């Protein structure tokens, strides 16, 4: 029996435990949105993270627990929300050292440009799409592809949920140089991916019991991000078509990518390459033969499940993936990036098991 067995509280006591010299103190922008809430929930269970300042424009002055449903305020007496106007003064007072931006697209770019004090933050992770093209020195934070860059960075652009699923579904095939033409991604997403601002299109009655395609083709904002990320992985230009769909569920992305191959690849070979490539990845699992991804298996976890085969004499690759858009597609991946930046074990404090219902 190891020492840990007498020190309960651990989720997984058999894992080696890192030594933390200093917790990262988090300033969280957009704490009442879905990504912000999920980050807060995950941070509360992460021993190396401390939620120091929670910012919210509309709810400034209100107890943060009001916007974090499920939290028992007797256990975690959350501080009051702080107005983002105080971002500079709180940073200068050294109330936090790590900034997590869970703002709507465009807002962090504006806010950081107007707030010189941001340069004092030891680390920034931006969950919006503002810096995913590498603007302002942000490093694109897909750990499975760009681990080394992330570990050396202080500014991270966290990938989008659809692009994360797409890149993890295709990474081994593109690294192997198999791509033979434009690829097609068909994916369905849970409704939390559309954000928390009330809108008719995300109302319960409009969505329950049905599914809808939207902005299919090559125009969706995620297509450019996918093409950029996949091209970097493949070392050549990759063209993407995209058919996003909204399904009547709160969380989850289920994705199917179809790829014409430059040469015939037998199904077993495709699977072997994937297994080999992902063997040591803590958050990507290649499913057994005949199994296909489902969103419940990864629900509330930071894991992405992947399955592949080839068809039509090996000329077409079918690659599929499932992940939780709020965790591996947003807040969980942000913490995975933080762990790397801080020199901590990459999987520290992150859920590996899904809670299916």
Q: Pick out residues in 230-269 that bind its own copies (CB under 8 A).
A: 239, 241, 243, 245, 247-252, 254, 256, 258, 260
Indicate which single residue of 89, 94, 119, 218 sits in contact with its own copies (rule: CB under 8 A): 218
Contacts made by residues 264-267, CB under 8 angstroms, sequence distance 24+? 264/310, 264/313, 264/314, 264/315, 265/178, 265/310, 265/314, 265/317, 266/310, 266/314, 267/309, 267/310, 267/314
292 lies in the binding site for its own copies (CB under 8 A)? yes
Q: Which is nearer to its own copies, 78 or 121 (CB)?
A: 78
180 lies in the binding site for its own copies (CB under 8 A)? no
Stretch that binds its own copies, among 151-159, 168-176, 196-204, 269-277 (CB under 8 A): 196-204
303 lies in the binding site for its own copies (CB under 8 A)? yes
**Rg of the Cα trace of the chain?**
20
Indicate which single residue of 61, 200, 237, 263 sits in contact with its own copies (rule: CB under 8 A): 200
Q: How far apart are CA 282 and CA 205, in angstroms?
A: 38
DSSP string for residues in 122-150: SEEEE-SSTTTT-GGGPEE--HHHHHHHH
Q: Which is nearer to its own copies, 109 or 331 (CB)?
A: 331
Within 18-37, the residues that bind its own copies by CB under 8 A are 18-23, 34
What's the min distance (Å) between Cβ of 51 and its own copies? 13
Count Cβ neighbours within 10 Å for each residue of 191-221 and write b for 16 or more, e otherwise: bbbbebeeeeebeeeebeeeeeeeeeeeebe
Q: Which two tokens stand for residue 63?
A: 């107890």
What's the min distance (Å) between Cβ of 56 and its own copies? 14
Q: Beta partners for 217?
A: 242
Stretch that binds its own copies, among 94-102, 148-156, 195-203, 229-237 (CB under 8 A): 195-203
**3-class SS of residue 111:** helix
What is the pattern of x (binds its own copies, CB under 8 A) and - over residues 62-81? -------xxxx-xxx-----
Q: How far apart are CA 48 and CA 11, in angstroms?
A: 14
Q: How far apart are CA 336 and CA 213, in angstroms?
A: 31
Q: Which is nearer to its own copies, 146 or 348 (CB)?
A: 348
Please, which residues have CB within 8 angstroms of residue 232's CB and are 6 or more apart in sequence?
A: 140, 145
What is the pattern of x (binds its own copies, CB under 8 A) and - over residues 136-155? --------------------
Indicate which single residue of 93, 117, 152, 213 sits in contact with its own copies (rule: CB under 8 A): 213
What is the pattern of x (binds its own copies, CB under 8 A) and - over residues 87-126? ----------------------------------------
What's the min distance (Å) between Cβ of 139 and its own copies? 25
Q: Which is nearer to its own copies, 117 or 199 (CB)?
A: 199
Beta-strand pair 240-246/304-311: unpaired
215 lies in the binding site for its own copies (CB under 8 A)? yes
Q: Which is nearer to its own copies, 107 or 347 (CB)?
A: 347
Binding-residue total with its own copies (CB under 8 A): 106
Give catalytic residues, as residue numbers.
161
Helix (H) or strand (E) holding 168: helix 161-175
Q: Which is nearer to its own copies, 136 or 314 (CB)?
A: 314
DSSP string for residues in 48-107: TEEEEEEE-STTTTSBGGGGSTT--TTTS-PPBPB-GGGHHHHHHTTS-SEEEE-PPTTH
Q: Which is nearer to its own copies, 104 or 260 (CB)?
A: 260
């Amino acid at each position: 029996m190891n020492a840990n067995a007498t020190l309960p509280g651990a989720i997984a006591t058999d894992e080696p435990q890192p030594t933390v010299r200093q917790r990262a103190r988090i300033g969280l922008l957009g704490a009442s949105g879905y990504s912000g809430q999920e980050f807060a929930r995950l941070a509360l269970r992460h021993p190396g993270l401390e939620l120091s300042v929670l910012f919210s424009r509309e709810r400034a002055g209100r107890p943060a627990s009001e916007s974090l449903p499920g939290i028992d305020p007797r256990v975690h007496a959350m501080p009051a929300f702080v107005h983002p106007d105080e971002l500079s003064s709180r940073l200068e007072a050294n109330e936090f050292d790590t900034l997590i931006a869970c703002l709507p697209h465009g807002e962090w770019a504006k806010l950081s440009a107007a707030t010189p004090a941001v340069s004092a933050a030891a680390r920034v992770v931006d969950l919006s799409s503002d810096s995913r093209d590498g603007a302002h020195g942000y490093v694109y934070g897909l750990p499975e592809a760009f681990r080394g860059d992330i570990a050396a960075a202080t500014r991270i652009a966290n990938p989008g949920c659809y692009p994360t699923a797409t890149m993890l579904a295709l990474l081994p095939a593109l690294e192997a140089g198999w791509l033979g033409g434009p690829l097609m991604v068909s994916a369905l997403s849970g409704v939390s991916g559309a954000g928390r601002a009330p809108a008719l299109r995300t109302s319960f009655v409009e969505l329950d019991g049905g599914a809808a395609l939207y902005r299919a083709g090559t125009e969706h904002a995620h297509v450019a991000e996918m093409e950029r990320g996949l091209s970097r992985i493949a070392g050549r230009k990759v063209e993407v078509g995209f058919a996003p769909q909204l399904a009547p569920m709160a969380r989850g992305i289920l994705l199917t990518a179809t790829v014409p191959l430059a040469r015939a690849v037998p199904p077993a070979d495709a699977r072997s390459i994937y297994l080999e490539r992902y063997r040591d990845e803590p958050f990507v699992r290649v499913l057994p033969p005949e199994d296909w991804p489902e969103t419940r298996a990864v629900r509330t976890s930071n894991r992405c499940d992947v399955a592949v085969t080839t068809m039509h004499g090996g000329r077409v690759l079918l690659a599929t993936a499932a992940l939780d858009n709020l965790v591996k597609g947003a807040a969980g991946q942000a913490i995975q990036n933080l762990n790397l930046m801080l020199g901590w074990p990459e999987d520290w404090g992150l859920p590996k098991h899904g809670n299916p219902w």
